Amino acid sequence: MATTATTRQVARLLNTRPSQDGDGVQIQRLHDFGGGLDPFLMLDELGSDRPDDYIGGFPPHPHRGIQTLTYVIHGGLTHKDHLGHSSTIRAGDAQWMHTGRGIIHSEMPLTDQQGLHAFQLWLNLAARDKLSEATYRDVRAEEMPRLTGSHASLTALGGHWETLDGDGVDGPLTRLAGQGAVAHARLEPGGALELTAPATTLLVYVFAGGLEVAGTRVGKGQLARLGDGDTLHLSSTEGGQALLLGGEPHGEPIAHYGPFVMNRQDELEQALRAYRDGTLTE
């Protein structure tokens, strides 16, 4: 018996809020440490043509219990960590960090004629993985496959993405927490993109122009959480760009303090002690 596809509708809209992190870096931030975006925790957008807004960067700092994914639209960032990794990513590149039981790293910005525009996404690790070994990887723009729609395109950073016509691609980041999938969608004026979308958690963050998500307008700086269904319909009258995020919830307790995300308060306290006594990364 044939099944009928169900278009996913916007169930919730969130707006970014101005914030500051690192050495005075101005950002627009979305977060939910209560499990409302599980397995995702936070999305930061760094975007300015004023160097004073970001040039201080993110000096060395620790993490435990999460993955981070940094994606650059223009400008660049240089990553260094205690494991000896050192890498610079520029427009279209990404870097992925599995912090596991502990990593200490820095991210310092580079500028171009447009300044800096980048994103950092936090994904929660399942309890079984929170004390795993830390790892790092960078991915270049040319490694990321693309799909095309009607006056639209999708660049896959990670996970599987497929059009309703059956064209599919797999992003190079294959170990995103919560079976995560991340893509960059670009729609020209009058463009449309129709995708299969089976992930339990499906989010659309618009960062340029505006999109209609199943007919609901989502403007710049808004994140849409979609309801149940199995297809995603994006269109735009004016043109727009968005990050698409899909994943499977862990359904576990979340305990958060600064750069540490664990399951219980005592685990947070242990992480803080370990950082203070120098054993976080051992």
CATH of the domain at 112: 2.60.120.10
Mean of pLDDT over the chain: 94
Q: Rounded to whole angstroms, how far apart are CA atoms 121 and 43? A: 5
Q: Total structural domains in the chain?
A: 1
Q: Is residue 282 part of a domain?
A: no
Where in the sequence is the domain holding 190, given as residue range(s)? 10-277
Closest CA relative to residue 53, chosen from 94, 19, 91: 19
* DSSP annotation of 281: T
CB neighbour class for 184 (10 Å; exposed up to 12, middle 13-18, buried from 19): buried
pLDDT tens, residue by residue, 191-236: 999 999 999 999 999 999 999 999 999 999 999 999 999 999 999 9
Low-confidence residues of the chain: pLDDT under 70: 1-3, 23, 49-52, 55, 112-113
What local confidence, expressed as pLDDT, does residue 226 receive? 98
What local confidence, expressed as pLDDT, does residue 282 receive? 83
Q: Is residue 1 part of a domain?
A: no
Q: Is residue 3 part of a domain?
A: no
Q: Is residue 264 part of a domain?
A: yes
pLDDT tens, residue by residue, 18-43: 998 876 788 999 999 999 999 999 99
Q: Rounded to whole angstroms, how far apart are CA atoms 108 and 168? A: 35
Q: Is residue 15 part of a domain?
A: yes
Q: Is residue 244 part of a domain?
A: yes
Tokens (6 digits) for 159: 């996970």
Q: Is residue 148 part of a domain?
A: yes
Alpha-carbon radius of gyration of the chain: 18
Other beta carbons within 10 Å of 68: 23
Q: Rounded to whole angstroms, how far apart are CA atoms 143 and 87? A: 16
Q: Is residue 5 part of a domain?
A: no
Q: Rounded to whole angstroms, how far apart are CA atoms 93 and 141? A: 5
Tokens (6 digits) for 237: 């009258």
Distances (CA, A) of 194 to 26, 53, 235, 252: 34, 37, 9, 32
